[in-house]
Structure 1
Amino acid sequence: MAHVEHMVQASAEDTFAVLSDGWSYAAWVVGATHIRDVDPGWPAEGTRLHYRAGVWPFTVDDITQVSAVDPPRLLELEAKLRPFGSAWIRLELTETAPGRTRVRMHEHTKHGPGTWVPDIIQELLLMPRNQESLSRLADIVVGRSRDTADGDQDQDTSRT
């Protein structure tokens, strides 16, 4: 199982807020190129993201479904990429200090031909991709947190 982690300079709530925005996934998940639709209520258990993955013009339309959720600590997904099968993905958020969250991402092939690939090879392929995904996620979280803080300051100064 591939496991990576990244520290985010924001709260677990702010980090989970980005995970809760299904439309943002193509911005931080390496390989996802386009979000086609997001089920109402995302990320409730059973809801789905409808996405396109790959490099144009070689893209595939598929879905990712929430299999477990415990805001703001956990999001577990099954990402499908037919005809290759599906992957189990678990994102764990732990606030290690105020405004500082460790995000751990676990992933392994769940169904399909990818299960024939030895675990060590899967790890070598997935770890750099997932580390980049978490780095992108952290940048989005920090940027949104900054925007929110700037908006709060703008509102405060307009009252004086």
Structure 2
Amino acid sequence: MSETSRVIDATPERIFAVLADGWSYASWVVGAAHIRDVEDGWPAVGTSIHHRVGPWPVQINDSTTVRAMEPARLLELDARMWPLGRAVIRLTLEPATPTSTLVRMAETVVSGAVRSLPDPVQALLLKPRNAEALGRLGDIAVHRRPV
């Protein structure tokens, strides 16, 4: 498992609003290239985002499904990374101050080629990508105008 964290200058509710907007997924998830569909009810448990992953022109259609969700507190995803496998990604939101949030992103590869790599090697691959994802998530949460 690889865990990355970041304090974001936004409330848990504001950050969760970005997570709950399935159409914004490719804006903050590194590697997601295009959202093809967001199922009604996202981010309810069992709903999915259908997206493309990878660089153009070798993008692959894939999906990410919600495993657990608590508004403004937790979002756990089953992310398919074909052909590399699958990962469980757990995002937890904890108030750090009245106006900021500690966001933790834990990723566990559960199947596929990357799973066979030793945990320290997996962490070397995942940590920089997840740090970038949290940076993007923070930028959107801080700068997006409320609707």
Q: What TM-score, normalized by structure 2, do the two folds share?
A: 0.97
Contact map agreement 1:108 1:122 (CA 8 A) in 2? no
Cα distance in 2 between the residues matched to 1:83 and 1:126? 16
2:121 maps to amino acid: I
Cα distance in 2 between the residues matched to 1:89 and 1:35? 18
SS of equivalent to 1:110: strand
111-120 vs 69-78, which moves further: 111-120
Q: How far does residue 37 in structure 1 lie from its aligned partner after superposition? A: 0.4
Residue of structure 2 in register with 1:59 after alignment = 59
1:137 maps to amino acid: L
Residue of structure 1 in register with 2:18 after alignment = 18
Residue of structure 1 in register with 2:98 after alignment = 98
SS of equivalent to 2:59: strand
Contact map agreement 2:7 2:96 (CA 8 A) in 1? no
**Number of aligned pairs?**
147
Residue by residue, what CA displacement relative to the aligned partner does 1:29-74 show, whole Å, maximum 9, x if unpaired? 1110101000000000000000001001111110000000011100
Residue of structure 2 in register with 1:9 after alignment = 9
Cα distance in 2 between the residues matched to 1:93 and 1:53? 26
Residue by residue, what CA displacement relative to the aligned partner does 1:82-102 show, whole Å, maximum 9, x if unpaired? 222100100000011111001
Which structure has the greater CA radius of gyration?
1
Contact map agreement 2:78 2:86 (CA 8 A) in 1? yes
Residue of structure 1 in register with 2:33 after alignment = 33
Residue of structure 2 in register with 1:119 after alignment = 119
More helix by share: 1
In percent, how many aligned pairs have the same letter?
52
Residue of structure 2 in register with 1:75 after alignment = 75
SS of equivalent to 1:64: strand
Aligned-residue CA RMSD in angstroms? 1.0
1:76 maps to amino acid: E
Q: How far does residue 113 in structure 1 lie from its aligned partner after superposition? A: 2.0
Structure 2: which 5+ residue stretches go unaligned?
Answer: none
SS of equivalent to 2:72: coil
Structure 1: which 5+ residue stretches go unaligned?
Answer: 152-160
Q: What TM-score, normalized by structure 1, do the two folds share?
A: 0.89
Contact map agreement 1:13 1:72 (CA 8 A) in 2? yes
